Structure 1
Amino acid sequence: MSRVTVLDYGSGNVRSAVRALERVGAEVRLSADPAAAVEADGLVVPGVGAFAACMAGLRQVRAQQILAERVRAGRPVLGICVGMQVLFAAGVEHGVETPGLGLLPGRVEPLAAPVIPHMGWNTVRPPKDSVLFAGMAEGTRYYFVHSYAVHPGAGRPGCAVTLAEHGEPFVAAVEAGPVSATQFHPEKSGDAGAELLANWLGTL
């Protein structure tokens, strides 16, 4: 059984992530302990709310060092929602730029859409080489809640970038070596989200 640590840094929505991972067979620990975060087979970085507030919580638990160590060792990390956004270089909210964790190049910026936040079910367009979306039917829907997004073109060469659209195209998921992330909430996406989490567990 894969051992997964969900990083507990003061962000909300952690319990639903724990339950969703347990549903697909992971042994899950909710912890802010750096050793537990580094040593687990997989580390999940959840996140809801403001980019700057999440970064403040992550700095308190030394997340930058934890993630850098995991990436150096090739140990998988999964970011969810704002937990995906903070993996990028910076986030811009209300005109204020906050440095992110910098694991991926790119900036999180306001989503240009007639209705904000983007809340509800939406389809995505994964690349053919995606591991997260392997075996998923075209037109499968996932649950989003966000007002900010990473625009297409972000990420490193060789990244598998999945796009979605709400007013404009945006990055719905990214896979870059040991780093994977989704803008949507797999833990709120029913059977489709469970299948995606199972695909991620298969990489551990």
Structure 2
Amino acid sequence: MTQHQLRTRLHRTLTAVALVWLTVACTAPSTPTAEPTPIVQESHVLGSCALALPAETTDEEAITKVLQAEGEWVVQQEIDLLMQLWNRGAAIVDAKHTEADTTDDQQWLDKDAIRHRYVRTVFPGAPAVAAPKDLVITLDGIHATVTATTQIGNEVSPGGDRWHLSKVGNCWVIDRLTYNLESQQN
């Protein structure tokens, strides 16, 4: 086959493929569907409900398990599981060791920003340990505030984290984490 014949054959093949593709793409369905398929943007299993806890688990135990799971999943770099723990509209705030001065705080607002923080800031450090300790849980109806000491790798922050959680249905989810609350050591 000559080069001209090859080009002609390729041109005809590409034209036929394009015509088939256009025909399929432009063909409307013969009968419209009765109801559109719902689009699920987030998992329905959130927070403590994603942890398969026993039914008799207390609120304090569920909250503790959520924070423990957050630490474990940071170490395992399980971003999808981590994001199930966070509520819509959640925030992470770096208080920069100046609890009383909020003007220097760095904030990650909503789940997309929180995901970005985990992937770009937390995971590259590859912490071998990320575990909350010394939890002080204060319940107020469907809201909880938790002050914790967190160990991430070799760094220990006594009382440096404040978590806010809320109960959505029967599931405890994280609304806010403020960290670096402890005074900086000189």
Superposed pair shares fold, TM > 0.5 = no
Normalised by the length of structure 2, the TM-score is: 0.24
Larger helix share, 1 or 2: 2
Normalised by the length of structure 1, the TM-score is: 0.23
